[in-house]
Structure 1
């Protein structure tokens, strides 16, 4: 292992740059050459690969997004596309690859590893929907972004005595809604992992109104329904005046939190160590504050689960 590559793929997340920085500097510390693949798997197929030095990753640890850019690539899902990528890596003499991204990125990394090209996956997604790790890079920052918005929305909800529906991202996982809902004091949290009962929600809101509560915050994960659809359903059940805020892609942006910077640094370092150990087809993660690694096949065949204890607690505290 003399040369390694690093790429980011799929949706960007705060902390990806910190992970890139860790990969580059850890590799150089061990006398490896490092090459950045620009534009994800599309850039790999196109050969958009450049050597990175210490200075290439200077002053990026605090920046959101990814300096290597990202893209989705249908061609890389084919054997032909994968072979084109491998040929580009071989042309540069790159012996192993670190892939930072989510589920789709991991499928690409596994495909390369199965064809004899060692890849290590780093979980970079705000959705926190990857098995084998308690936290993914960007999740903590995204939750804090949502909390900042919720605090502002609560001010206007209080002033106008309204019920606000806040739609958050997360794909098919409810982690962002769950954590932000609990931290933001939401009265109701709607997540894909638990069915909701509109009659129960309406009854709770009406009881709160009767005892003098004039506003409410309801957190809705995009994997369940849209904020507008939920608001329509709620208005029909309660006659309450509602407003909807869809936070959208602002959740992906911004300077990463200290937690995400440290997490990304630890993940990037371990990924390089695994390649130096001659391993491929692995993905790093964190469990009980210990950095671990698992087989990519295991990760991709295991369904991510949320902590339903947090969901239960949120319902107990929002009476």
Structure 2
């Protein structure tokens, strides 16, 4: 029997799908077998709104502890769920090429955001999404929701997605006009047919790191040289530069992944262009800024994020977003 590596993941359909995608590619490149370790995280068992937990990393802490305890060799995360401070003893060994980073509207009757009726109820658990929705349309009613993707889809009127996977946040079906979900997760689960509109970043900037995966190992390596080489091959430099700039901005703003902050970096030729928005939670005020720089290294990408954040702070972004 050939040597194997152990990959840790949450148990949700999206988490196991993402982990399976990464593990398959690493196994093919390394020649190793895969053993999957399911880990229940704090975010899987709490029942309150994520925005009120008072911290970040609720979907990552248990996975990271299992990794530090050598209970697995590799952990796969949604990068947007990770705190911006990297814990001692762990490194992000690979950030694969990014999926679609946009937010997606899943609405009844095929409606777009502009077509939803006045006072429409839209479900989201994200203060960032809620604030930008209200900035675009103050008449919308935002409903805080929890649960995995099928559970959330099941709350849209007439969606037909009535499967309830037993996750926290279970509720009656069909009580909302629409929900907002990450396009990347919908695509990875093969649920694109439920998307009625991909939201333009001009209306809604995504969360820093949205659409990207983070493959994390112990700083000393995974104990499998072939796996370490495969991780290096899977790392995608343009994606890493983008997300490093976005996360550096978030860190400099001293904001967590639940803050009403959006950011999106794109590589254009030899230039990295970073857009960011800070919103009042009720959408009544937004501050949107952009910056660009030649960024060929991670250090340069981080500096772009930091410098844009400092400029926004000087203009009052922390006050706008309720961070000060």
TM range (shorter): 0.3 to 0.5
Structure number with larger C-alpha Rg: 1
Which structure: greater helix fraction? 1
The structure showing larger relative contact order (alpha-carbon pairs under 8 Å, at least 6 residues apart) is 1
What TM-score results when the alignment is normalised by the length of structure 2? 0.38
Which structure: greater strand fraction?
2
